[in-house]
Amino acid sequence: PPSPSTLTSSSSSSTKPASSAVAAKDDSRRYLIRTNHGDVVVNVDLSVGGLSDALFSLEAPTAEALAGLDVATPLTAFGAKVVDIIELAGTEGFGGSAVLREMLVKEKATSELKRIERFAKSLAG
């Protein structure tokens, strides 16, 4: 399947990105996510593997963090991309069955979406 970067991010070029994601380098992506409590910048490090706790990192939407992110993606829409991002980062290190791997990917996706929402809520006060 096409990577999320080919669907929603721009490459490092002289054109202004018109999406909610920016490809910072080949193995990372940045997304501006809109939640019910406010915006969150989500950094994705594809080099660490899909099941790693370090795959997603969150930061407040400061002017510096927002550089290059022009469009916010609603959390519900981003939810559809999270499984794809996890699979794109890879699950090669997992030695269990395909069914168990699929369950872990879905659980990680759900967990990350909840973490984004909690982070936004904590920023809102």
Count of domains observed in the chain: 1
> What's the pLDDT score for residue 13?
33
pLDDT reported for residue 92: 85
Structure tokens at 3: 């990577």
Q: In which domain, by residue range, is 16 found?
A: 4-124
- Name the one residue in this structure whose structure tokens are 């490809």: 23
State the Cα–Cα distance between residues 46 and 12, nearest whole angstrom. 17
Percent of the chain whose pLDDT exceeds 70: 79
Which pLDDT score, from 0 to 100, does residue 93 have? 84
- pLDDT category at 26 given cuts 50, 70, 90 is low
Average pLDDT, stretch 41-55?
A: 95
CA distance 99 to 76: 25
pLDDT band at 125 (very low <50, low <70, confident <90, very high): confident
pTM of full prediction above 0.85: no
